[in-house]
Every structure is written in structure tokens, then in C-alpha cells.
Amino acid sequence: MAKPVSPASTKPMPPELLARMVGTLGDAKTVAKLCGEFGAILAQALPPLLKTESGHDVTIAFAGSDTGTMDELVHRLGTSVAISDASLRNWCPHFVLGCDSPIIIAMMESLLGALPDAVTEPEPRALSAIEIDIAAMLFENIGEVVRMAVGLKTEPVIVRPCNDTERPKPDATAAPVFAAAITMTMGLGPVLSTFSVIVPQAVLLKTKFLHAPAGQPPKPEAAHWTDQLREQVQRSSVTLNAHIRLERMTLDAISRLQVGDVLMFQDTQDVRVDVSANGRELYICEFGRAGSRYTVRVKDTYGSEEDLLSHITS
């Protein structure tokens, strides 16, 4: 009589093998082909949408694909990226959008009036709240192309983007979700970055993409992001700092200052005050007083209104 096999002596099936058996993990050739089809649609349909939103020509091209678990692929996006979780009813309950920060910063500068060719390559960094709004606009347009590509009328649900450091940590106890990342290059003037769409392979393997017609018209409800961004910048609260020059002193004298010592302003008549925000000088003022409060009076500016807005937001 055969000896019964105890549960403890059985080995669990490798997750990759089980995923292949149930259709949630495809072979490399099939997945790469589907990613290439998806990338071709993004490269064709996304630029005209962004042209309508921003008024500038943005170049999009397929840069390749990668595979792994969803968490691994999100981690490979790196740091200083904007990330958003998204879903599209009747297609995918959860996919992820990610974009490098330099192109988003460059898009904001161009929307504020800078010529794309004059925008220099920004350093990767965490995005401000206003720049996150630009990422939201970009991701909404990517979501619109995804919707067109899979032939659905339902609108995608895209969670407000966040910096990678602000995204909740993945659930370590959850079963791995095998996915594929479609990576695209995105260029604005001299600035070139990448964005990615990360889709579960279980969804990708069942998708038949509908290629967008040439010259696909923009969606009629496209927002005028340039005007909206300008309005938001003008409503944003900014902390101002005032800098007053004091009389010159030797290091020896500075090292011997005690509580109660008095320092003199450098100016003997109207005391000059430089007012700045976000490290950028904005106004030349004079020091004064109104009632019980000290004040500064604006005497000159460091540029036009457009220059000031650009300085504050850069």
C-alpha cells in the first residue's frame, strides 16, 4: 500500500509556473509584441493631445519594455518620479503610470511662457504641488490614449499623482502580480525623459489593441491647461523673505557678540530690503513702520510679472 503524502512533504508550486498555467504570465516574445503595439499607439496618439493641452510639440517614441512583478517594475522606475495608480472599468482594475520629473518640470516652464528650446535640462527632484498638477494633466492624456487603444467608452480613473517617496509601500503579504512595463521617451525641446505604463500581464495578454486613426482629433473636453496653470500659480500662497544688509564686522567682533548687543543697518538713510521667495529675489524695498508693525515698501522689481511668476515657480 502506498504511503500517504503528508502536506508538510509537498513543495509549493513555483509562482511563475502557476502563473503560466492560469494565463497571468506570458512568454517573452508575446509580451514584447503586445508592448510594442501599445507603444506604437502611444507614440501616435499622445502628441496631438499634448499639443492641444500645452500648445507645444512634444515628441513621443517607444523605448522598449520590461517584465517582472508589479512591485518590481514600479521600483525600477527609480527616484524623483511622479507615480499614479489607475484603473479602467471593463479592462484593468489596476495599472500604474510613472514619469521622470525633468520632463514635467520642463512642461511647467513652457506652460508659464518659456520657449521649449530655451528650457534647460532640469535636475531630477521631488515635484511641487503645481508640478504634480502638470503630471496629472499628462497622466489624464495617457489614460485617454489607453481608453482609445482598448476601444472603451468608459473614462479611466487616475489617482492624483504623487512623488515616489510619498506613495504607500506595497503589501509584502500580497501575492505577486506579474506585469509588463511599456516605456516611452518624451521630448520637449532639448529635454528628454521617459514615462512608463505598467500593466498586469493577465490583462495585457487578453487585450486586442485598436490602432488610433492618423490625425486623431483631441478629445473635445480637453482643458486649457495653460490658463488654468497661470490661475493656480497666481492663487498659490508663497512665503516671502526679507533680507537687510548690516554693517560690516570682523569675524573676531562677530565671535564676541553677546545677548543685548545692537547691530547697525548698513544704510544710514532709507534702509534697503531685498525681498525673495523660494530663493529668488523679487523686489527692492525700503524698511519702515506702520503703527506697531514693521513694514517694507516696494521701490523696484527684479523683472516683469512673467519673470516674477517664473522665478517663484522654478
What per-residue confidence (pLDDT) applies to 223? 46
Q: Are residues 198 and 260 in the same domain?
A: no
- What amino acid is encoded at 175 in this protein? A
Q: Are residues 70 and 128 in the same domain?
A: yes
Q: Is the pLDDT of residue 245 over 50?
A: yes
For the stretch 196-230, pLDDT in tens is 999 999 999 999 998 654 444 444 444 455 566 66
- Shared domain for 187 and 271, answered yes or no, is no
Q: Quick check: 310 pLDDT over 70?
A: no
Confidence of residue 292 (pLDDT cuts 50, 70, 90): confident
Q: Given pLDDT bands bounded at 50, 70 and 90, which one contains residue 293?
A: confident
Same structural domain, 263 and 152: no
Q: Give the domain-ending residue among 172, 201, 235.
A: 235
What's the total number of domains in the chain? 2
Closest among 15, 178, 163 to 78, alpha carbons compared: 163
For the cut 80, the answer to whether the pLDDT of residue 77 exceeds it is yes
Most confidently modeled range among 4-13, 134-143, 205-214: 134-143
Q: Both 253 and 207 in a single domain?
A: no
In a shared domain, residues 134 and 249: no
CATH number at residue 208: 3.40.1550.10
Task: Name the residue among 236, 238, 276, 280 with its Cα closest to residue 132.
Answer: 236
Whether 7 is in a domain gets the answer no
Quick one: average pLDDT of 80-103?
96
CA-wise closest residue to 188 among 108, 242, 281, 272: 108
Do 231 and 153 sit in the same domain of this protein? Answer: yes
**If residue 232 lies in a helix (H) or strand (E), which one and from where to where?**
helix 225-235
Kindly calculate the radius of gyration of the chain based on its CA atoms and give it in whole angstroms.
Answer: 27
Model pLDDT, residue 217: 44
CA angle at 296 for the pair 293 and 300, rounded to the nearest 5° = 165
H runs (alpha helix) in 13-128: 15-22, 28-54, 70-76, 101-111
Domain match, 30 and 156 both? yes
Q: Which of 203, 235, 267 delimits the end of a domain?
A: 235
- Residue 206 domain-assigned (yes or no): yes
Say whether both 260 and 194 belong to one domain: no
Say which residue, 186 or 169, is predicted with more confidence: 186
User: What was the pLDDT predicted at 237?
Assistant: 60
The C-alpha atoms of residue 214 and residue 206 are separated, in whole angstroms, by 25
Give the residue, 1 or 122, on which the prediction is more confident.
Answer: 122
**Do 249 and 206 fall within a single domain?**
no
Nearest to 202 by CA among 67, 100, 72: 67
In the 8-state DSSP scheme, what is residue 304?
-
Instruction: Kindly state whether residue 1 falls inside one of the protein's structural domains.
Output: no
Q: Is the pTM of this model over 0.85?
A: no
Q: Is residue 6 part of a domain?
A: no
Assign 56 a pLDDT band (cuts: 50, 70, 90): confident
Structural domain for 269, as ranges: 241-313
Is 102 domain-assigned?
Answer: yes
Q: Average model confidence (pLDDT) for the chain? A: 83
- Domain end residue (candidates: 190, 213, 235): 235
Q: Is the pLDDT score of 81 beyond 90?
A: yes
- Spatial separation of the C-alpha atoms in residues 194 and 123, rounded to whole Å: 14
pLDDT above 90 for 39: yes
Answer yes or no: is 287 within a domain: yes
3 lies in a domain?
A: no
87 and 107 assigned to the same domain: yes
- Kindly state whether residue 4 falls inside one of the protein's structural domains: no
Same domain, yes or no, for 231 and 264? no
CATH code (residue 292): 2.30.330.10
